[in-house]
Amino acid sequence: MRNWKHANRASAIAGTLALLLAQGCTVGPHYHAPAPPAITTYTPQPQPSQTVSSQGTAGAAQALSAAGDVPAQWWTLFHSPELNDMVQKALASSPTLEEATARRKEAQEELNARRGATKYPTVSGSASVEQEQPNLSAYGIPFPNPSPFTLLTGSVSVSYALDIFGANRHLIEGLQAERDYQAWQLEGARLMLAGNVVAAAVEQAELREQIELTGQMIAIEEKELKIVEQRYEAGGVADYDVRSQRTLVAQARAGLPALQERLDAVNDQLAVLMGTSSAEAKVPALSLASLHLPEELPVSLPSALVRQRPDIRAAEALLRQASANVGVATANLYPQIELSGSGGAIGTSFVSGGDLWNVGAWLTQPIYNGGELRAEKRKAEAAYQEAEGVYRQTVLQAFQQVADTLYAIEHDAQAVQARTDAVASAEASYKIASARLGAGGISQLATLDAERQQLETALDRSAAAAARYSDSAMLFEALGGGWWNNAAQTSPTPKPAGGTQ
């Protein structure tokens, strides 16, 4: 058992020295999260606390509150079971999320591997058994050859690289940042996926209404063509009038295939977002009237937004990784010390073994390498400055997106109000025209023209209503999507980035 005692002795010596010497100073920067912005608003002028309202679909007033919070399943605020089902299918089956989840797991396992390789000593063992048969006559010894014997050897070695200047600690910190980056990328992919489903669903509902209204307008144009043709046969109009009306009918018909093509493309997009092929998917048909406009919209403060948006948190993780890389490059300028020890024994099948052991330390100090290591440090510092610029740009773009969306929400409500007034005016004109037609005071052609104007205003209003739905969803997405309120989230919520761990 003496060989194993020596092995334990070597391991104990190496471990003790590691604990004593590993308390060295860590060189390089100590990361601190960027300070939150001092601004309290997104726009130069104060935004109204409530939008204007109007009658009809998507006409409700929307209140904007800084005290509100974004729910984790914000799409449920549109009160559409079909929309909820599409989003849930997308989150459960999207290949994009599978890819992002795998990348996060890969980063986590890389962190686990490197942490285990640097935190603990490396212990390895070896053993061999060899059958030997000496040939004494080959050496000119005039004696009979001895019987064959077995040569037994065994050893255990322990090595540990001391992290006196923190190269390994910075390396682990960088891998933690990479893990966090991939986690935030996954959160961002979830948010983008839900936003894309809602946007596509609203577009589908808008296109379906546009196709329906366009079909009604084509029918009116065709009725007008028949009247013009009858008047031409009676000699009441010229050939030019007939051809002009035929042109209007052809133009109206030409717009319908383009709308149908866009609708088919949107349904295909929804199928792919839900992780199925177009042939297999059963995409429900939505209407603008079936959607509910969220009447309360949260507006997070800029200081909260930088902690909520996954893209900002991902940029911060890259900034932390760049800081850790500076630490690694700095520590590489200093000596590297490695401790090792081994113990074992050697013997034969007929002679007891002898003990073998050793304890050693190796120090490596760069003396001259043409300035390579210092250049690597300057490169890492430049990469950190680049990451700072990327982070600041990401924050500014996030603020811009929120500001643009707030403007859009205000102007969308005004547009719906104006379109609603236009629809009401067109409907009143059509009623008057219908009454005059019954009294014989106006032609059927003029009445059809009034009806066509009514449909045109309804078409414009449907586009304005769809914009209110889309921009309301865009605000939830711009504010981060409410991932922090998702208690049932299956994957671990990324931890806020802090100092060096």
Dump pLDDT digits (tens) for 186-204.
999 999 999 999 999 999 9
Nearest Cα to Cα of residue 365 among 321, 331, 409, 323: 331
What is the spatial distance between Cα 468 and Cα 292, in angstroms, rounded to a whole number?
A: 11
Provide the token pair at 162. Answer: 């001391």
By residue count, the chain amounts to 501
Q: DSSP per residue over 325-394, as a string?
A: HHHHHHHTTS-EEEEEEEEEEEEESSS--EEEEEEEEEEE----STTHHHHHHHHHHHHHHHHHHHHHHH
Nearest Cα to Cα of residue 452 among 228, 221, 233: 221
Per-residue pLDDT tens listing for the chain (501 residues): 444 444 454 444 444 444 444 445 778 889 999 999 999 999 998 889 999 999 999 999 999 998 889 999 999 999 999 999 999 999 999 999 999 999 999 999 999 998 888 887 877 878 887 777 677 677 667 777 766 767 777 778 887 778 888 888 999 999 999 999 999 999 999 999 999 999 999 999 999 999 999 999 999 999 999 999 998 998 888 999 899 999 999 999 999 999 999 999 999 999 999 999 999 888 999 999 999 999 999 999 999 999 999 999 999 999 999 999 999 999 888 888 877 777 766 666 555 556 666 777 777 777 777 788 899 999 999 999 999 999 999 999 999 999 999 999 999 999 999 999 999 999 999 899 988 888 877 888 888 989 999 999 999 999 999 999 999 999 999 999 999 998 755 444 444 443 333
The dihedrals phi and psi of 442, each to the nearest 5 degrees, come to -150, 155
Question: Could you tell me the residue ranges of all domains in the chain?
Answer: 25-123+164-334+371-485
pTM of the model: 0.84
Nearest Cα to Cα of residue 163 among 10, 27, 7: 27
Dump pLDDT digits (tens) for 372-417.
889 999 999 999 999 999 999 999 999 999 999 999 999 999 999 9
What is the spatial distance between Cα 224 and Cα 480, in angstroms, rounded to a whole number?
A: 52
CB 4 within 8 A of CB 345: no
Q: Has domain 25-123+164-334+371-485 been given CATH number 3.90.1570.10? A: no
